[in-house]
Structure 1
Amino acid sequence: MKTPAAVALLIAVVTISSVPCYGQDRPKTRDEAEALAAKLQYQRGEVVLKDGLATLKVPDGIEFLNGRDAHTVLVTLWGNPPMPDPLGLLMPVNVGPLNPESWAVIITYEEEGYVKDKDAEKIDYADLLKQMQKDTREANKQREKEGYAPIELVGWAAPPRYDKELHKLYWAKQLKFSGGGEDTLNYNIRMLGRRGVLVLNAVAAMSQLPEIEANAPKILAAIDFNPGNRYADFSEASGDKVASYGIAALVAGGVAAKLGLFKGLWIFLLGAKKFVIIAVVAVAAWVRKLFGKNKAAT
């Protein structure tokens, strides 16, 4: 049997001061998990996000889950910490959250102001990577004190690219977590708007990079800010706020870096019959207990 990839999504949405008991409200059996997954309401076609902020035209081969169902997948089925509902979740058609081949893209929005892109062409991404690797090593000291697995930023899986006409930024990082296993792919998409940034994050095993990259262009083309919220609509004279960081900080961590969230970076896990665990020890212990029983039963 093929071991499922640890599919994760890195989202800086909340700061949580202590490690929660992840397994409390999770399904206790595979049958319970499948029954819950069967209730998810997948959507296709056109979806309006966040009270008219943006519109998503769900691409062929992709399905959309709204914020509530996305929360069910991330927290209840995949055992992640409680968090505010995201704007939504994109998944491949007819795969489902319990399938070993599944991957997902979480959509969130950071209303931190208008991000100026004047520095985009001047950034030395090789130097930026070195600084990010240094920052990651420093952050690991605090992570380990708090019981989190250390992270190694191996390098770019795909170097940052910025489309100045569309104001869309995308890149991919190769991450390694302690405990071995296949390296993890963190694919990032940022769409700049009038008052903030649409954030799309997907993480998969490195072997899934071709699949993620194949889907990235159509996802990029499928979502955009609505009139009045677009980058070109910015008006400082109207009181629009300018973000305190630029393109380089978005790649390095943006809001997460500013808020100091690297020390408690949450790793979102894909649940299935077997798990490749890459995060908090408490999660690993709970998963071994539950799915170890399932494995014995089969």
Structure 2
Amino acid sequence: MKNLTILAFLLCISHVFSQTDSTDTGFELDEEIYLKILDSINNSYTFQKGTIQLGNDLATLHVPEGFKYLDGQQSQRVLTELWGNPPSETLGMLFPEEISVLGDDFTYAIEITYSEEGYIDDDDADDIDYDDLLEDMQESAIEENEERKKQGYPTAEIVGWAAEPFYDHNAKKLHWAKEIKFEGMDMNTLNYNIRVLGRKGYLNLNAISDMDKLHLVQNNIDRVISSAEFNPGKRYSDFDPDFDEVAAYGIGGLIAGKVLAKVGFFAALLKFWKIIAVGVVAAFGTLRKRLFGSKNA
């Protein structure tokens, strides 16, 4: 998966090369050109702060202090063109304000999406045994490794909870984190999930990072959780049993990736986690060392 990010970078380099005289055999890529390419990519995005309307009067995002917001159209470009994910609808992304979309300083980002799958009954929230749920999820991941191999994906293992699930009954918000080990990856993956329940579905705020960034995510998680809310008429309390559909799963199913037996663990994981993003830092760090390490030694 890292190769996709490196490929995107090399395509940019090849574009620079194509603008030079093809007979000039003395042309060498140096760090200045590398940084200019990164700056060109990063400066092509426009971030916002303050109060943001998400969707068609669906929800409101109050960009947390220390963060910046990238709208849905630009976020789609980041996720697909830069990070190599399949096209999918997104409402935008939150980035820590000091980091770039692409480059050596990348730490983590939070994608915001919406799933309209019905009103989620939260009656089971207090009855869930999270240790048992984790074991079920771990077994499902192992069972699907052969299918992942056939599809050309790395095998996956759920190591455990990076943060045990917590449901706020009053705010109707749920968050949890898993530590996942992917075949061939030196660093385990952090899959940090926030769900904001609404009348007809839920907002997903999904943190994309490596496990060593867990403390960075946790330092800001309360602000991120409180930043998003459904607009009047779309809130959980606006549910009308005479008109609105109820989802086929509750809080436990939401944490487990809904109906695992039907869609499979890997399908659920792909829906809520952008696999290519975790390679961004490593890929660019490695490439930069290969290109310029001897000069800077």
Which category of TM-score, normalised to the shorter sequence, fits these structures?
0.7 to 0.9
Q: What residue number does 1:284 align with?
A: none
1:96 aligns with 2:100: yes
Aligned pairs (5 A) from 1:250-265: 250-254=254-258, 258-260=262-264, 262-263=266-267, 265=270
| Deviation (angstroms), 1:28 | 2.3
**Percent identity over paired residues:** 40
Distance change >3 Å, CA 297–CA 101, structure 1 → 2: closer
Question: Conserved in 2, the CA contact under 8 Å of 1:184 and 1:206?
Answer: yes
* Runs of 4 or more above 6 Å deviation: none
Of 180-189 and 163-172, deviating more is 180-189
Residues 213-262 of structure 1: CA deviation (Å, up to 9, x unaligned): 1111001111100100000000011x101011110011001277753461
5+ residue gaps in structure 1? 1-5, 8-19, 277-286
Cα RMSD for the two superposed structures: 2.8
Secondary structure at 2:144 match in 1: helix
- Structure 1 residues 93, 22: CA separation in 2 closer, same or farther (over 3 Å shift)? closer
Query: SS state of the match for residue 236, structure 1?
Result: coil
What is the distance in 2 between the residues matched to 1:206 and 1:25?
Answer: 25
1:151 pairs, out of 151, 156, 161, with 156
- Structure 2 residue matching 1:117: 3-state secondary structure: coil
Provide structure 2 residue ranges, at least 5 long, that are not aligned to the other structure: 14-33
Pick aligned residue for 1:267 from 266, 271, 275: 275
1:167 aligns with 2:172: yes
Please name the residue that 1:242 is paired with: 246
Partner of 1:14: none
- Select the residue among 198, 209, 212 that pairs with 2:214: 209
| Structure 1 pair 81–205 and aligned structure 2 pair: CA distance change class (3 A) | closer
Write the deviation string for residues 94-134 of structure 1: whole angstroms up to 9, x where unpaired. Answer: 31112334210000000000000000000000000000000
2:241 alignment partner AA: E
What is the letter of the counterpart of residue 95 of structure 1?
Answer: I
- For the residue of structure 2 that corresponds to 1:83, the secondary structure is coil
Answering whether residue 12 of structure 2 is matched by residue 28 of structure 1, we say yes
Q: 1:296 pairs with 274, 291, 297, which one?
A: 291
Count, aligned residues: 266
- Greater relative CO, 1 or 2 (CA 8 Å, sep 6+): 1
The structure that has the greater radius of gyration is 2
Q: TM-score, normalised by structure 1?
A: 0.81
Query: Secondary structure at 2:147's aligned position in 1?
Result: helix
Cα 1:101–1:254 change in 2 (3 A) is: farther
Which region of structure 1 is more displaced relative to structure 2, 68-77 or 93-102? 93-102
Q: What is the rounded CA distance, in whole Å, between the counterparts of 1:69 and 1:28 in structure 2?
A: 18
Q: For 1:34 and 1:135, locate their aligned partners in 2 and report how far apart those are by CA, in whole Å.
A: 42
8 Å CA contact 1:273, 1:295 repeated in 2: no
Taking a change above 3 Å as real, the CA distance of residues 56 and 187 of structure 1, as seen in their structure-2 partners, is same
C-alpha distance in 1, partners of 2:280/2:139? 34
Q: How far has the Cα of 1:178 moved from its partner?
A: 1.1
Equivalent residues of 2:124, 2:251 under 8 A apart: yes
Aligned to 1:220: 225
| Cα distance in 1 for residues equivalent to 2:248 and 2:175 | 20
Q: Aligned letter for 1:133?
A: Q
CA distance in 2, matches of 1:163, 1:184: 25
